């Protein structure tokens, strides 16, 4: 694939186009600091220590933010990717973004992106996932990221979203997401966050507009058992009282909770035999972003379920596109 002659052509053209659209709906800017090369292997049933027949193998550039942008773009929404790209895989990452027609504005870092291997079982057994931690980020790379942040944040509009999620590589401060959220809020833009552990705790100090939790990450953050709906509701209401406008919680069984100051709503993506269980967190975040961009906060659950069902029906590491979204959204509506 022919590479762009100018490194900044895509994102500058993207912003010029958005500026001309006076009545445009919002754009989602996604931040991915720990991108990965994801190899997805599909077998009948993984037999440890034995020879296994491999049905299919796909390779994609991933990371939560990139995956969210991939879904949004595939469903007809404007999205820009930012974060890190690593020198060894720089060309590969940029070619992948161009193939998907995703505008990007990455900061270069030394080293290579981490590898993730997903082994999916056609017989329905749980997936096996192996992850590298990632290359340590240097101060030079952090300085590069700071320059990109200033440019990206300066382009945000009040109707835009800053979408932050996933892990961060070694060498990056735990308050990195918090600083991005703070600057986006100063521009009047809303932020959507999905993180875990100490990164999550630091990020919540800046009170993002919306937060997506896995049930496990919520239990860890609150330091309590969430074995009943009542306990979950108590934790969610406490988060809302802290100033978060929208809280979403999802489980491994594709159960979804969405809460705001008015309601707590529960739903589930009922699928007896999903083709794939990958991409759930990105699908939940993308569905929420679509509702926020369309100013349909009262229908966030419908958007999330439609995107999640669309992704569950895609083989390998496939993501929901507009075709699947419209099919399931119209059915829900």
pLDDT beyond 90 at 126: no
Q: Write out pLDDT tens, residues 138-168.
A: 999 999 999 999 999 999 999 999 999 999 9
pLDDT of residue 133: 84
Round to whole Å and give the CA distance between 149 and 102: 18
- The mean pLDDT of 63-70, rounded to a whole number, is 96
- The mean pLDDT of 55-74, rounded to a whole number, is 93
pLDDT beyond 80 at 278: no
Residue the block writes with tokens 């404007």? 78
Round to whole Å and give the CA distance between 60 and 130: 15
- Say if CB 53 and CB 43 are below 8 A apart: yes
pLDDT beyond 60 at 16: no
pLDDT beyond 60 at 203: yes
Round to whole Å and give the CA distance between 234 and 42: 40
Round to whole Å and give the CA distance between 293 and 73: 13
Length, in residues, of the chain: 333
pLDDT of residue 333: 56
Residue the block writes with tokens 């590479």? 3
- The mean pLDDT of 107-124, rounded to a whole number, is 90
Q: Write out pLDDT tens, residues 265-275.
A: 999 987 665 55
Helix intervals (H) in the chain? 9-20, 64-74, 90-99, 139-154, 176-186, 197-204, 215-222, 229-241, 280-293, 300-312, 322-332
Round the average pLDDT of the chain to a whole number and report it.
90
Round to whole Å and give the CA distance between 282 and 310: 12
Between 290 and 55, where is the model more confident?
290
Q: What is the DSSP string of 278-331?
A: -SHHHHHHHHHHHHHHTT-GGGHHHHHHHHHHHHHTSSTT----HHHHHHHHHH
Q: Exposed (0-12), middle (13-18) or buried (19+): which is 150, by Cβ within 10 Å?
A: exposed
Under CATH, which architecture does the 27-332 domain have? 3-Layer(aba) Sandwich (3.40)
Round to whole Å and give the CA distance between 105 and 14: 10
Residues contacting residue 159 through CB under 8 Å, at least 6 positions apart:
24, 25, 26, 189, 293
For 15, 69, 224, 298, 324, the CA distances from 153, given in Å and listed in that order, are 12, 17, 36, 28, 32
- Say if CB 39 and CB 306 are below 8 A apart: no
pLDDT of residue 1: 38
Nearest to 236 by CA among 255, 254, 263, 269: 263
pLDDT of residue 3: 45
| Band of residue 18 on the pLDDT scale cut at 50, 70, 90 | low
Range with lowest mean pLDDT among 12-21, 104-113, 131-140, 172-181 = 12-21
Quote helix, strand, coil % in the chain, to nearest 5. 40, 25, 35
pLDDT of residue 272: 60
Share of the chain above pLDDT 90, in %: 72
| β strands within 4-62, DSSP E | 28-32, 36-43, 54-62
pLDDT of residue 56: 85
| Band of residue 4 on the pLDDT scale cut at 50, 70, 90 | very low
pLDDT of residue 225: 87
């Amino acid at each position: 694939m022919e590479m762009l002659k100018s490194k900044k052509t895509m994102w500058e053209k993207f912003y010029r186009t958005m500026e001309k659209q006076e009545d445009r709906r919002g754009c989602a800017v996604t931040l991915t600091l720990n991108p990965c090369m994801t190899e997805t292997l599909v077998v009948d049933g993984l037999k440890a220590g034995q020879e296994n027949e491999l049905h299919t193998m796909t390779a994609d550039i991933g990371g939560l933010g990139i995956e969210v942008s991939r879904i949004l773009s595939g469903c007809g929404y404007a999205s820009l990717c930012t974060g890190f790209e690593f020198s060894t895989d720089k060309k590969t990452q940029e070619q992948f973004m161009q193939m998907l027609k995703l505008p990007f504005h990455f900061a270069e870092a030394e080293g290579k992106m981490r590898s993730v291997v997903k082994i999916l079982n056609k017989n329905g057994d749980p997936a096996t996932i192996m992850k590298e931690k990632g290359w340590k980020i240097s101060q030079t790379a952090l300085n590069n990221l700071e320059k990109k942040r200033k440019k990206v944040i300066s382009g945000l509009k009040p109707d835009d979203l800053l979408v932050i999620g996933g892990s961060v590589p070694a060498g990056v401060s735990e308050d990195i997401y918090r600083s991005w959220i703070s600057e986006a809020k100063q521009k009047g833009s809303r932020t959507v966050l999905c993180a875990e552990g100490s990164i999550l705790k630091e990020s919540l100090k800046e009170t993002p507009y919306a937060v997506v939790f896995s049930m496990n990450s919520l239990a860890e953050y609150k330091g309590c058992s969430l074995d009943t709906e009542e306990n979950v509701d108590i934790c969610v209401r406490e988060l809302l009282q802290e100033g978060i406008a929208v809280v979403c919680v999802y489980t491994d069984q594709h159960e979804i909770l969405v809460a705001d100051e008015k309601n707590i709503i529960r739903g589930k993506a009922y699928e007896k035999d999903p083709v794939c269980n990958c991409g759930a967190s990105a699908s939940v975040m993308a569905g929420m972003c679509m509702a926020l961009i369309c100013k349909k906060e009262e229908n966030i659950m419908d958007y999330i379920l439609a995107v999640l069902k669309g992704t569950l029906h895609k083989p390998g590491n496939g993501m929901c596109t507009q075709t699947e979204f419209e099919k399931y959204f119209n059915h829900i509506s």
